[in-house]
Structure 1
Amino acid sequence: METYRLQPHPGHPPRAVSGVDARIIGRDDNWLRLRWRIEGSGELVVPKFAGKGRADGLWQTTCFELFLRPDGGTAYCEFNLSPSERWNAYDFAAHREGMAERPIPREPVCTMRMGSSFAIFDAALPAAALPDTDCAMGLTCVIEEAGGHKSFWALEHRGEQPDFHDPACFTARLAAPSGA
Structure 2
Amino acid sequence: METHELVVHPAYPPLEVSKVHASIISRDANWLRLRWRIDGAAKLVVPAFAGKGRADELWRATCFELFLMPRGGDAYSEFNLSPSERWAAYDFSSYRDGMENRPSPREPDCTMRKGSSFAIFDAAIPAGAIPVEECEAGLTCVLEEEGGIKSFWALCHPQEQPDFHDPACFTVQLAAPSAA
TM-score range, shorter chain: over 0.9
SS at match of 1:159: coil
Q: For residue 73 of structure 1, report the CA deviation from its aligned partner.
A: 0.7
Displacement of 1:178: 4.3
Which segments of 5 or more consecutive residues in structure 2 lack a partner in the other structure? Answer: none
1:4-32, CA deviations, whole angstroms, 9 ceiling, x for partnerless residues? 00000011111100000000112221111
Cross-structure match for 1:42: 42
TM-score, normalized by length of structure 2? 0.97
User: What is the RMSD of the two structures over their aligned residues, measured on CA atoms?
Assistant: 0.9
Q: Secondary structure at the match of 1:106?
A: coil
1:41 partner letter:
A
Q: For residues 177 and 32 of structure 2, what CA distance do their matches in structure 1 show?
A: 10
Query: Per-residue deviation at 1:71?
Result: 1.0
Q: Are residues 1:175 and 2:180 paired?
A: no
1:132 shift after superposition: 2.8
Aligned to 1:115: 115
For 1:15-164, what aligned pairs fall within 5 Å after superposition? 15-164=15-164
Q: Does structure 2 conserve the Cα–Cα contact (< 8 Å) formed by 1:21 and 1:38?
A: yes
Q: Distance in 1 between matches of 2:89 and 2:55?
A: 9
Aligned mates of 1:131, 1:98 — CA distance in 2: 16
Aligned to 2:4: 4
Alpha-carbon distance in structure 1 between the residues aligned to 2:131 and 2:57: 24
CA distance in 1, matches of 2:38, 2:23: 12
Distance 1:124 1:177 in 2: 14
Q: Residue 128 of structure 1 aligns to a residue in which SS?
A: helix
Q: Distance in 1 between matches of 2:9 and 2:132?
A: 31
- The normalised TM-score by structure 1 is 0.97
Per the alignment, in what secondary structure is the counterpart of residue 168 of structure 1?
helix
Please tell me whether the aligned partners of residues 132 and 177 of structure 1 are also in contact (alpha carbons under 8 angstroms): no
1:33-90: CA deviation from partner (whole Å, max 9, x where unpaired): 1000000001100000000000001000000000000112100000000000000000
Give 1:161's aligned amino acid: Q
Distance in 2 between residues matched to 1:170 and 1:151, nearest whole Å: 19
